[in-house]
């Protein structure tokens, strides 16, 4: 006979109630009573087949439930991120750097927006180097501006995976050639106290990109918004 716990796991509430009444009336065990009740519900198929079918349905229902929970969690996370991006309760920043050619002349761009709408824009030529150096110098410029503005709870976004991952990496584990820039940026972040550096797609970093290109007196990249 199939284990009692396995039968209980697939029995409906009314079937469990019926089996308890049967056990009392027929003076049999609850296990035997539940088996009989499910045998009747099986309607010509075996109890094992009924158990297997209900187990399969339960697994599908559980998978659907987990998917719904995952979607809800993703929506909640997206809403929280949108709230952070919108500057509610804190500051926002964006940075971008350009090298023309690469390596070559550097231009940096940055935007800093306060919770009350105060906006600081940065656009400057910044020596020579490669694109990663340009990105780091742009980040540092935004961090310095944030310190001047006494920004709190700031989230700074950049589209350079190299720089975002490098500055967020444990100290002494990043890219050796960028170590001095990383050290400078981390020192500024420490002074701000509550600051996070996050990656975002290039398409969502258009203003900082345009400002970095303005440093060369070039028009924004194709598709970029001013």
Range(s) of the domain holding residue 142: 92-214
Domain contains 224: no
Is 223 a domain residue?
Answer: no
Same structural domain, 32 and 73? yes
Domain final residue, candidates 84, 112, 138: 84
Helices 161-168 & 131-148 angle (0-180, nearest 10): 60
Q: Are residues 140 and 71 in the same domain?
A: no
| pLDDT value for 128 | 94
Examine residue 222 and state whether it is found in any structural domain, yes or no.
Answer: no
Question: Alpha-carbon distance 225 to 90, whole Å?
Answer: 24
Phi-psi region of 218 (alpha: psi -120 to 50; beta: other; left: phi over 0): beta
Q: Are residues 97 and 77 in the same domain?
A: no
Instruction: For residue 226, tell me if it sits in a domain.
Output: no
| Beta-strand pair 154-158/92-100 | parallel
Does residue 100 sit within a domain?
yes
> What total of structural domains would you count in the chain?
2
Per-residue pLDDT of the chain (226 residues; tens, 9 = 90+): 799 999 999 999 999 999 999 999 999 999 999 999 999 999 889 999 999 999 999 999 999 999 998 888 877 776 566 555 554 458 999 999 999 999 999 999 999 999 888 899 999 999 999 999 999 999 999 999 999 999 989 999 999 999 999 999 998 888 999 999 999 999 999 999 889 999 999 999 999 999 999 988 755 554 443 3
Check which CATH number belongs to the domain holding 198 and give it. Answer: 3.30.420.10
């Amino acid at each position: 006979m199939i284990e009692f716990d396995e039968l209980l796991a697939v029995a409906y509430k009314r079937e469990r109630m019926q089996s308890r009444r049967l056990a009392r009336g027929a003076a049999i065990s609850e296990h035997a009573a539940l088996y009989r009740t499910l045998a009747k519900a099986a309607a010509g198929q075996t109890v094992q087949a009924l158990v297997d079918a209900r187990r399969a349905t339960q697994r599908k229902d559980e998978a659907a439930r987990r998917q719904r929970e995952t979607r809800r969690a993703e929506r909640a996370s997206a809403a929280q991120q949108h709230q952070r991006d919108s500057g509610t309760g804190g500051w926002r920043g964006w940075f971008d750097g350009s090298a023309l050619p690469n390596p070559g002349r550097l231009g940096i761009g940055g935007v800093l927006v306060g919770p009350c709408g105060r906006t600081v824009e940065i656009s400057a030529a910044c020596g020579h180097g490669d694109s990663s150096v340009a990105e780091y110098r742009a980040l540092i410029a935004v961090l310095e501006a944030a310190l001047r503005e006494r920004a709190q709870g700031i989230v700074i976004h950049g589209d350079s995976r190299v720089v975002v991952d490098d500055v967020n990496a444990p100290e002494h584990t990043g890219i050796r050639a960028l170590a001095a820039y990383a050290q400078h940026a981390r020192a500024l972040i420490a002074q701000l106290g509550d600051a996070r550096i996050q990656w975002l797609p290039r398409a969502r970093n258009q203003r900082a990109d345009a400002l970095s290109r303005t440093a060369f007196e070039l028009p924004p990249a194709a598709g970029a918004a001013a």
